[in-house]
Chains A and B, each alone.
Chain A
Amino acid sequence: MIIMTNNSPQVEYIPPVYKEKRLRHSKNPDKIGVFLCRCGDNISNIIDMEKLKSSIKADFVAEFENLCSINCRRHIREEIIEHDLDRVAIVACSPLTHLKTFQNYADPLNPHMVEMINLREQCSWVHTDQEKATKKAIEVTRAGIEKLKNAQALDKIIRQTEKSAAIFGGGISGITAALSLANQGIKSCIIEKKPTIGGNMVKIGKVFSPEKLAEECALCILNPIINEVINHKNIHIMTRTNLLRAGRKATHFKLILEKDTGLVHEERCIACGKCAEVCPVEVPDEWNQKMTTRKAIYKTFPQAVPDVYTIDRENCIECGMCAEACKMGAIDFKLKPEVIPFQAGNIIIATGHENYDLNKRPEYGYHRFDDVISQMDLSRILGVNGPTQGELLRISDGKVPDKVVMIQCTGSRDEKADGKRYCSKVCCMIALKHASIIREHYPDTEVVICYTDLRTVGMYENYLRYVQDKGLKLIRGRPGEVSKKDGKLVVRVEDTLEGKPLDIETDMVVLSEAIEPSAGTMRIARKLNVGMNQDLFIKEKHAKIKPVNTDMGRIFVCGTAQGPKDITDSVAQANAAAAKVSEEIESGTEAEPPVAVIETSKCDLCGKCRNICGFKAVYKDEENMAVDPMACRGCGACAGQCPQEAIEIKGINDQELYAQIKALLSDKEEGEIRILAFLDNVGYTAADTIGYNRINYPEAIRIIRIPSINRIMSHHLMYAFNQGADGILMAEYPDECMLEAHKAKIKELTEKIAAEGIPNDRLRFYKAYAPHYRGLNKQFHRFYEDIRAEAKI
């Protein structure tokens, strides 16, 4: 229950109060009540309710027409109070549909004191023989009650995430996310490794606008946002700062940051620039793609934030001239990098991208020919604050080119060594943007784009038409080489639509370089133990439904750190990441069992649990191993790995499993076949769906719902076989992040069961998919028929 008051944004958490538990093994054992539902006649038309009712041994048994109706809510509550019931079994339909309803109806009881027995989807709807179905119903009910007797009352796990966020990367994504959080009252810190924030967007000059069919000034859009960030009371900016170490706690992250000073006292510098005037060291300026030079003490660009000068230690010769020139005494060669401990409730990774190293495609001659440039180089050339003040001039001779040829997919969509297999997504639009600017200002300059596929998705198609109208030559073909002949650049390409090889003579070649994950992205992923995809971008938790979550709880991703994307998408994703952080802070406070709990005194820190957990729920908390209950799914993989047996899965304990197994096999008669099906939630859903579709399968199938096959140990299976199970089917959805654990589990169980002398076809595994219920049904039938055929022989 969360109570919010109007005058305070603070969230107060009040845990629910349940009926007090009786002491176990006390003189008065828990009282059990059983509520039977006829479900109209959905259950009672196949199952003999009288027979079922008389078979039940409990302190209270009652039968209802429609147990889920709101009237019955009153009945259930009244009976619980009147008969002083401690545990309640609901014999009705699937827990997937109604468990929450009945936990609510049984409100004074702890939710774990309510057990649902599924007689509709998994009995009356799938069997037609009344006698056999009733027999199964009696047994399934007994198993449910036995499980209920062994259930443990568990409290919800409560956690309050700290109300703060660390945002790595100060580009458009990081800035957007920080601003959104700060506006929601959440303290945010932007951590940027470079001396200024703004990222790649400050360099590109113009951005394309498909809406207005125009190019807009990037810095003009960005500057007001940056100003807002600087002045925001909830945002702190740390530049020249790197992450050294990260530790994870239940409610926050402990980060160790290193801030390089740039040998300048930031608070003293007034950015007058006198230092740079006297500095004797000139080096190529990365801001202008090394087409111009800067000094060893410099400010990245005039509007840089923070507005301070900084020394590039690599090139500084420590002559001291700048320090002499500085009237503020801001320069200090003795300044050491500062190590700063930092704490944040959440983390957003917005570490962006880098541009592909064009030296890896020597056939295009980027470094051999001055006038072969990259799109980023062209951005700077066309930028009014660039090396040519926005004039389109060749680097070699300073002349306006008569012809510009652009080569798409340089390094992208390339399976070769050093290539990037993915499409970099933005290069088609960048090429068109530059073509548009060139055609606008230099109508005598011809622009040719050599492309494989033009990807101007969605509304961007309008922009393509707009640029085409300005006059643009498109050649469908991927060039193989750029060479030089008689002083002219020659692009060799096949016009694949004409089927003819061409040598295009030109004055300038622009390579549309791929986007690749930045070194910072890869470094931070390793430090934070966040998963990357095979192209080394940060991997989202689910590409469709969790696009900004990472595989680590409370760590989110946005912008090009996650994959190539344009500014629009980066901003959208940044806002989504901020919303997720906010959600985590406001409501990410409850976790429901089953969850794994480590008994620290037994644990010897071997780390096997941490290695197996695909949900990354296990972490080392200073000196102990710990489980993050929010990330844990209670699958039990860790418990299976633990050599010390120090891990317990709260919510489905061994006693519950044993009790169910035993009860489901207890009345097996001579010559009868019994198959136990252990199904995870997806498998269980598929089994329910078989019921919805009224498809029959043999009564021999008895279903036990488990969180995951990882929860099941060989001793559970051996217990089942010894109790008379003829076969065991284990079905589970192949969850990507637990695939390795599944494989290991299947191997382990298969080997152990074989060692006990059980024929290997008596233990079967099946990959369950919710919509493919027919597949599961087929498995049920096949298993049954195989055993029957064997029994006949």
Chain B
Amino acid sequence: MMEKKHKKSQHSLVREIKDNLRASPDLGIKRCMQCGLCTSNCPAARHSDYDPREMVKKVLDNNLEVLDNPDIWNCFYCYTCASNCPVNNSPSLINQILREKILNTGGNVSRVAEFIEFGYNYVEKGVGTIPSTFFQDLVDDFGEDYPKLKHDLPDIRRKLGLKEYNLKGEAAAEVKNILKASGFTQRLEKLKKIA
């Protein structure tokens, strides 16, 4: 039986997103009907000029201006859009891929600078822990309960019979090796340098 050959579209933002490792094969980006359900539910859209529907529109139009729009950095990956989208699209995921593209070309690295420590924690301890620079924000948000929890956590864990959560020894070394081999560590270094 002859195989039907599908013609592949030319290079475009949509193609780039569909081909990205993060995107599932049934990502409904091309089926977007611009209904705006994502924007109506988007907390970032409520508090800023970010408009996920418009972002998707620009991607579909292959309008590279979308990369220069500072509003796309206001998404904080709550995935409400992804879980509501009637055509199985995920503006949140598209956003991630766009940011990755921007970062790869060296742009907007300052946006992720404060997360770099998160990556290093991962390399060193094998778990991602909240960067220390966020401490004050959390205290502002949660009040005195936060430092108290931080302080009491080892005791609480002991009482609950939970073990140390930082990886140690062989396991930690293994994670470190994987991160190195996969280019994660190198990427971290690169971002740190530019930042």
CB distance A767 to B87 under 8 Å?
no
Q: 0/1 per residue, A398-440, Cβ < 8 Å to B?
A: 0000000000010001111001000000000000000000000
Interface centre among B40, B46, B51, B83 (most CB of A within 10 A): B40
Query: Is the CB of A765 closer than 8 A to any CB of chain B?
Result: yes
CB-CB nearest in chain A for B46: A501
Cβ of A589 under 8 Å from chain B: no
**Counting CB contacts under 8 A, is A40 at the interface?**
no
Whole-angstrom distance between the alpha carbons of A481 and B86 in the complex?
14
B21 within 8 A of A: no
Q: Is the CB of B28 within 8 A of A415?
A: yes
Q: Most chain-A Cβ atoms within 10 A of its Cβ — which of B1, B33, B83, B84?
A: B1
Q: Is B35 an interface residue (CB 8 A)?
A: yes
A731 to chain B, nearest CB (A): 10
Interface: A751 (CB within 8 A): no
Return chain B residues, CB-CB under 8 Å to A478. Answer: 35-37, 40, 86
A469-510 CB mask vs B (1 if < 8 Å, else 0) is 000000011111100000000001111100101000000000
**B92 at the binding interface (Cβ < 8 Å):** no
Interface size, B (range): 20 to 34
Taking a contact as CB atoms under 8 Å apart, the answer to whether A414 and B39 are in contact is no
Asked if B41 CB lies within 8 Å of chain A CBs, one says: yes
Pairwise interchain contact B86-A416, C-beta atoms closer than 8 A: yes
CA of A481 to CA of B42 in the docked complex: distance in angstroms? 11
CB < 8 Å A-B pair total? 70
Residues of B within 8 A of A416 (CB): 83-86, 88
Interface 0/1 of B30-70, CB less than 8 Å to A: 00011111111110011000010110000000000000000
Q: Give bound CA distance, A453 to B36, whole Å.
A: 12
Tell whether, in the assembled complex, residue A766 and residue B2 are in contact, meaning their CB atoms are under 8 Å apart: yes
CB closest chain-A residue, reference B83: A416
A746 interface residue (CB < 8 Å to B) = yes
Interface residues of A in 334-367 (CB under 8 A from B): 363
How close is A782's CB to chain B, nearest CB, in angstroms? 10
Does A714 lie at the interface of the complex (its beta carbon under 8 Å from any beta carbon of B)?
no
Chain A interface residue bracket vs B: 20 to 34
Instruction: Return chain B residues, CB-CB under 8 Å to A452.
Output: 33, 35
**Least CB separation from B39: chain A residue:** A494
Instruction: List the B side residues contacting A766 at CB < 8 Å.
Output: 1-2
B40 nearest CB neighbor, chain A only: A480
Check A493/B33 contact, CB under 8 A, given A415-B88, A501-B45: no
State A492–B43 Cα separation when bound (angstroms). Answer: 12
- Give the Cβ gap from B31 to chain A, nearest Cβ, in Å: 8
Which of A453, A480, A499, A766 gathers most chain B CB within 10 Å? Answer: A480
Q: Is the pair B35, A477 in contact by a Cβ cutoff of 8 Å? A: yes
Cα-based distance from A453 to B34 in the complex (angstroms): 10
CA distance A767 to B2 in the complex (A): 8
**How far is A413 from B33 in the complex, measured between Cα atoms in Å?**
10
Contact B54 A499 (CB under 8 A): yes
Q: Tell me the nearest residue of chain A to B54, going by C-beta.
A: A499
Cβ distance B71 to chain A, nearest Cβ, rounded Å = 12
CA distance A496 to B84 in the complex (A): 17
Contacts A419-B86, A499-B51; is A479 near B37 (CB within 8 Å)?
yes
- Bound state CA distance, A494 and B53, in angstroms? 9
Q: How far is the CB of A761 from chain B (nearest CB, A)?
A: 13
Closest to B37 in A: A478
C-alpha spacing A656/B172, complex, angstroms: 75
CB–CB A415/B36 < 8 A: no
Q: Which of A453, A495, A499, A765 has the most chain B CB within a 10 Å cutoff? A: A499
Residue of B36, B41, B86, B88 contacting most chain A CB atoms (<10 Å): B36
Q: Which B residues lie within 8 Å of A493 (CB)?
A: 36, 40
Instruction: Kindly name the residue among B33, B37, B54 whose own CB sees the greatest number of chain A CB atoms within 10 A.
Output: B37
**In whole angstroms, what is the CA distance A499 to B45 when docked?**
11
Known contacts: A415-B86, A416-B85, A496-B53. The answer to whether A477 contacts B36 by CB under 8 A is yes
Q: How far apart are the CA atoms of A478 and B38 in the complex, in Å?
A: 9
Task: Determine whether the beta carbon of B86 is less than 8 Å from that of A414.
Answer: yes
Distance in angstroms between the alpha carbons of A493 and B80 in the assembled complex: 14
Contacts of A413 in B (CB 8 A): 86
Do A481 and B41 contact each other (CB < 8 Å), given the known contacts A499-B54, A766-B1, A767-B1? Answer: yes
Instruction: Give complex CA distance A384, B51 in Å.
Output: 45
With known contacts A416-B85, A452-B33, A501-B45, A765–B40 Cβ distance under 8 A = no
A747 to chain B, nearest CB (A): 11
Please give the distance in Å from B17's CB to the nearest CB on chain A. Answer: 18
Alpha-carbon distance A523/B119, docked complex (angstroms): 56
Give the Cβ gap from B66 to chain A, nearest Cβ, in Å.
14
Q: Which residues of A contact B39 (CB under 8 A)?
A: 494, 496, 501
Beta-carbon contact of A494 and B36 below 8 Å: yes
Question: What would 24 A/B residue contacts be, using CB atoms closer than 8 Å?
Answer: A363-B84, A415-B87, A415-B88, A416-B86, A416-B88, A453-B33, A477-B35, A477-B37, A477-B40, A478-B35, A478-B36, A478-B86, A479-B37, A480-B40, A480-B80, A492-B40, A493-B36, A494-B37, A496-B35, A496-B39, A501-B42, A501-B46, A765-B1, A767-B1
